């Protein structure tokens, strides 16, 4: 019964791992991966000597860090507020609308963002109508970073509430009633009961996100970037795409990718270990 | 979904109630305003778009942009290819996932732990873009539509959702079927699957939406226009700095602005999602919940 899916795993998940050795080889198209000569750490050294690599590395970490600082708390706050809403009907409608951006592809989102925030876009038209000056949201590096983070929140924060709403509804209701009897205010109740109640979930999500500090999807930066902001928008995934697939510099881009993955694993293990030390049940394993 | 009101909230909370509602309302508006704006833009006439007076409601209603997009041959081909690709992919993925999730949900499967580890490892260790690309190339799958299906046929996350659901089905049903002489496949198809339609729908939708929205693998593996998905086509129309590909779309209707065409193309490719979304939303939410259950 399991033959078919396991074969898929082996052919398309495990076999490519064999190709990671390209990072250590002088890859020759005609000799193939197996026949090419070993090059040791040559391509790692080459990567470390190019400024673009360090830029891509710094941008990846920086954008992920901003996502963590601003993006991570959003669904938690939204979920708590949604839970506290009195009208079940309105809550349903709000949830439906909030989840919507999650189902739009990055191409569509990128298209919408360029339409809205371009110099001729709705936002700038409004700013000018109010007497302001045109803002270069997408072509100024600082503004672009803000747009990148905001777009991420726009796309994911609503959807992210689901997991926290599930966690909140799992909190013991007797605690809420006891707090009510003790005359606890709403904010105090949120602080002393809801938040501690969902802390394990928060920790798990935090580790998962920390474990992705070096990993960055390709589509989101790719659709949002433009030549004016290349200094802040070139990340590991786009670097690997342009160097690797477009320019066919396979060993160099594999080395960069591999370097990122290794750092990523270290982050993941460290984060998991720290939470376990803190006695959290949130550990991944 | 969230459980209903707890009945512990008195009038004393009115202040925070208002603050919370205002913040949530603002966020919800932020979520939908951009989408509505693009729809309005795509339906508006040339002068209104040039003057920048279109906000959330179309001005000088004009359907010419849609005429250019919908009747464009390459757009139609991309749409049809995307639909077929998504259907084929979803069906094959479901078959693969069921065949793996069901055995993994049975406690008596020998070596179950080992198989779990085997499917979990690729969640953390992947070859990376280039080794995957070179492997696809070695398999001669570049510019072959199967490169958009086979490598992502299984999703460990989705398989775990499915397995969690299968696990929750009472084993007594299975035991009695076994006494009646049913084999594993008969049990799966006659008992397990009919009992899990909701979770199967959820996982199928996860697969379908992922395939529909993906762009990166098309970018990596496909150069042949015949196998461009809608997202790829949309990228060309929306992001090409020059307006040539948009101009190509324009055809006879040369009164239409590239910007309006771009908006129409965006809406055109969002419509399939918008149509199914309201009906299927609850399944998605359910999927996240089942997936959150830890081993």
Q: Could you tell me if B283 lies within 8 Å of chain A, comparing CB atoms? A: no
Q: pLDDT averaged over chain B?
A: 85
Whole-number Å distance between alpha carbons of A207 and A125? 42
Residue B115, SS3 per DSSP:
helix
Q: What is the pLDDT of residues B7-47, one digit of tens each?
A: 444 555 778 888 899 999 999 999 999 999 999 988 988 88
Contact B221, B147 (CB under 8 A): yes
- Residue A4: list chain B partners with CB under 8 A: 95-96, 99
Let me know whether B150 and B38 are in one domain: no
Residue A127, SS3 per DSSP:
helix
Phi/psi-derived region of residue A40, left when phi > 0, alpha when psi is between -120 and 50, beta in every other case: left
Q: What is the pLDDT of residues A4-61, one digit of tens each?
A: 999 999 999 999 999 899 999 888 888 888 888 888 899 999 999 999 999 999 999 9
Q: Do A108 and B270 touch (CB under 8 A)?
A: yes
Residue ranges of chain A whose pLDDT lies below 50: none
Q: Could you tell me if B38 lies within 8 Å of chain A, comparing CB atoms? A: yes
Q: Do B209 and A261 touch (CB under 8 A)?
A: no
Interaxial angle between packed helices A88-99 and B258-292, expressed in degrees from 0 to 180 and rounded to the nearest 10: 120
Q: Assess: ipTM above 0.90.
A: no
Q: What is the pLDDT of residues B81-125, one digit of tens each?
A: 999 999 999 999 999 999 999 999 988 888 888 999 999 888 878
Instruction: Name which of B239, B270, B259 is nearest B43 in CA terms.
Output: B259
Q: Which two three-digit tokens encode residue A223?
A: 């659709």
pTM of the predicted model, to two decimals? Answer: 0.88
Q: Do B131 and A99 touch (CB under 8 A)?
A: no
- pLDDT at position B164: 87
DSSP A134: P
Which residue among A98, A185, A240 places its CB closest to the CB of B27?
A98
Q: Which residue has the tokens 């070139």?
A: A234
Let me know whether B117 and B42 are in one domain: no
Let me know whether B49 and B149 are in one domain: no
In a domain, B119, yes or no: yes
Let me know whether B179 and B215 are in one domain: yes
Q: Which residue has the tokens 């202040």?
A: B15
End residue of a domain, out of B62, B78, B93: B62
In a domain, B45, yes or no: yes
Q: Could you tell me if B204 lies within 8 Å of chain A, comparing CB atoms? A: no
Band (B4; pLDDT cuts 50, 70, 90): very low
- Residue B292: list chain A partners with CB under 8 A: 163, 166
Using CA coordinates, name the residue in chain A closest to B221: A245
- pLDDT at position B256: 74
Q: Which domain holds residue B116?
A: 66-295
- Residue B99: list chain A partners with CB under 8 A: 1-2, 4-5
Let me know whether B253 and B286 are in one domain: yes
Band (B244; pLDDT cuts 50, 70, 90): low
Q: Which two three-digit tokens encode residue B267?
A: 């809406």
In a domain, B41, yes or no: yes
Q: Which two three-digit tokens encode residue B233?
A: 């086509």
- pLDDT at position A53: 93
- pLDDT at position B6: 45
Let me know whether B136 and B43 are in one domain: no
> Total domain count for chain B?
2
Let me know whether B70 and B156 are in one domain: yes
Q: Do B100 and A15 touch (CB under 8 A)?
A: no
Let me know whether B208 and B222 are in one domain: yes
Residues in chain A: 285
| DSSP codes joined into one string, A168-221 | HHTS-HHHHHHHHHTT--HHHHIIIIIHHHHHHHHHHHHHHHHTTSS---SHHH
Whole-number Å distance between alpha carbons of B289 and A248? 42
Q: Do A162 and B289 touch (CB under 8 A)?
A: yes
- pLDDT at position B184: 86
Q: Could you tell me if B153 lies within 8 Å of chain A, comparing CB atoms? A: yes
Whole-number Å distance between alpha carbons of A39 and B11? 73
- pLDDT at position B31: 92
Q: What is the pLDDT of residues B182-194, one digit of tens each?
A: 888 888 988 889 8
In a domain, B103, yes or no: yes
What percent of chain B lies above the pLDDT cut of 70? 89
What percent of chain B lies above the pLDDT cut of 90? 38
Phi/psi-derived region of residue B214, left when phi > 0, alpha when psi is between -120 and 50, beta in every other case: beta
In a domain, B279, yes or no: yes
CATH of the domain at B240: 1.10.3720.10
Instruction: Name which of B262, B264, B246 is nearest B254 in CA terms.
Output: B246
- pLDDT at position B259: 82
Residue A74, SS3 per DSSP:
helix
End residue of a domain, out of B23, B41, B62: B62
Q: Measured between alpha carbons, how far is residue B227 from residues B77, B84, B143, B233 in Å?
A: 9, 11, 7, 10
Contact B165, B123 (CB under 8 A): no
Let me know whether B284 and B254 are in one domain: yes
Let me know whether B49 and B173 are in one domain: no
Q: Return the higher-pLDDT residue of B171 and A255.
A: A255
Let me know whether B73 and B204 are in one domain: yes
Whole-number Å distance between alpha carbons of A212 and A207? 9
Domains and CATH numbers, chain A: 40-277 (1.10.3720.10)
Let me know whether B181 and B203 are in one domain: yes
- Residue B53: list chain A partners with CB under 8 A: 125
Q: Could you tell me if B212 lies within 8 Å of chain A, comparing CB atoms? A: yes
- pLDDT at position B242: 56
Q: Measured between alpha carbons, how far is residue A3 from residues A98, B90, B96, B107, B158 in Å?
A: 40, 19, 9, 19, 18
Band (B3; pLDDT cuts 50, 70, 90): very low
In a domain, B6, yes or no: no
Distance from CA of B242 to the nearest CA of A (A): 14
In whole angstroms, what separates CA B44 from the centre of its chain?
A: 29
Using CA coordinates, name the residue in chain A closest to B50: A120
Burial class of residue A237 (count of CB atoms within 10 Å of its CB; 0-12, 13-18, 19+): buried
In a domain, B4, yes or no: no
Distance from CA of B198 to the nearest CA of A (A): 18
In a domain, B251, yes or no: yes
**Sign, Cα dihedral of A19, A23, A28, A34:** negative
Which residue among B99, B119, B215 places its CB closest to the CB of A106?
B215
Contact A96, B278 (CB under 8 A): yes
Q: Do A98 and B28 touch (CB under 8 A)?
A: yes
- pLDDT at position B8: 45
Contact B286, B2 (CB under 8 A): no
């Amino acid at each position: 019964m399991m033959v078919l899916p396991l074969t898929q795993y082996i052919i398309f998940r495990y076999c490519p791992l064999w190709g990671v050795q390209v990072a250590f080889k002088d890859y020759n198209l005609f000799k193939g991966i197996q026949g090419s000569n070993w090059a040791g750490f040559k391509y790692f050294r080459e990567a470390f000597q190019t400024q673009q690599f360090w830029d891509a590395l710094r941008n990846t970490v920086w954008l992920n860090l901003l996502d963590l600082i601003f993006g991570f708390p959003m669904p938690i706050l939204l979920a708590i507020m949604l839970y506290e809403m009195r009208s079940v009907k309105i809550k349903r409608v709000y949830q439906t609308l909030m989840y919507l951006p999650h189902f739009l592809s990055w191409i569509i989102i990128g298209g919408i963002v360029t339409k809205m925030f371009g110099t001729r876009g709705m936002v700038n038209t409004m700013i000018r109508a109010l007497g302001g000056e045109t803002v270069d949201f997408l072509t100024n590096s600082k503004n672009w970073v803000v747009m990148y983070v905001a777009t991420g929140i726009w796309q994911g924060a609503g959807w992210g509430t689901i997991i926290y709403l599930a966690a909140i509804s799992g909190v013991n209701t007797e605690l809420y009633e006891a707090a009510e009897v003790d005359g606890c205010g709403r904010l105090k109740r949120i602080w002393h009961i809801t938040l501690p109640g969902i802390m394990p979930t928060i920790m798990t999500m935090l580790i998962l996100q920390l474990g992705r500090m070096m990993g960055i999807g390709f589509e989101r930066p790719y659709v949002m970037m433009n030549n004016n902001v290349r200094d802040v928008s070139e990340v590991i995934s786009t670097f690997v795409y342009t160097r690797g697939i477009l320019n066919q510099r396979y060993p160099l881009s594999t080395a960069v990718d591999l370097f990122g993955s290794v750092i990523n694993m270290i982050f993941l293990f460290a984060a998991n270990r720290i939470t376990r030390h803190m006695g959290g049940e949130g550990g991944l394993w | 979904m969230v459980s209903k009101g707890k009945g512990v909230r008195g009038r004393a909370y009115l202040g925070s109630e208002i603050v919370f509602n205002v913040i949530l309302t603002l966020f919800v508006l932020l979520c939908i305003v951009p989408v509505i704006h693009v729809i309005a833009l795509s339906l508006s006439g040339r002068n209104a778009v040039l003057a920048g007076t279109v906000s959330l409601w179309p001005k000088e209603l004009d359907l010419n942009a849609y005429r250019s997009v919908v009747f464009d041959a390459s757009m139609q081909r991309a749409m049809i290819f995307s639909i077929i690709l998504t259907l084929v992919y979803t069906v094959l993925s479901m078959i693969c996932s069921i065949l793996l999730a069901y055995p993994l949900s049975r406690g008596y499967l020998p070596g179950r732990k080992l198989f779990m580890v085997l499917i979990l490892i690729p969640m953390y260790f992947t070859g990376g873009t280039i080794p995957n690309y070179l492997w696809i190339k070695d398999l001669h799958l570049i510019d072959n539509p199967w490169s958009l299906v086979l490598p992502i046929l299984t999703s460990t996350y989705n398989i775990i959702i499915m397995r969690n659901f299968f696990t929750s089905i009472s084993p007594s049903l299975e035991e009695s079927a076994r006494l009646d002489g049913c084999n594993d496949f008969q049990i799966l198809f006659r008992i397990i699957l009919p009992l899990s339609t909701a979770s199967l729908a959820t996982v199928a939708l996860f697969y379908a939406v992922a395939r529909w929205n993906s762009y990166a693998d098309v970018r990596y593996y496909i150069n042949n226009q015949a196998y461009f998905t809608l997202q790829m086509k949309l990228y060309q129309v929306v992001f090409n700095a020059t307006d040539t590909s948009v101009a190509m779309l324009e055809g006879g209707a040369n009164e239409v602005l590239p910007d309006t065409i771009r908006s129409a193309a965006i809406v055109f490719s969002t419509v399939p999602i918008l149509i199914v979304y309201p009906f299927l939303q609850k399944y998605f939410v359910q999927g996240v919940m089942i997936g959150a259950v830890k081993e």
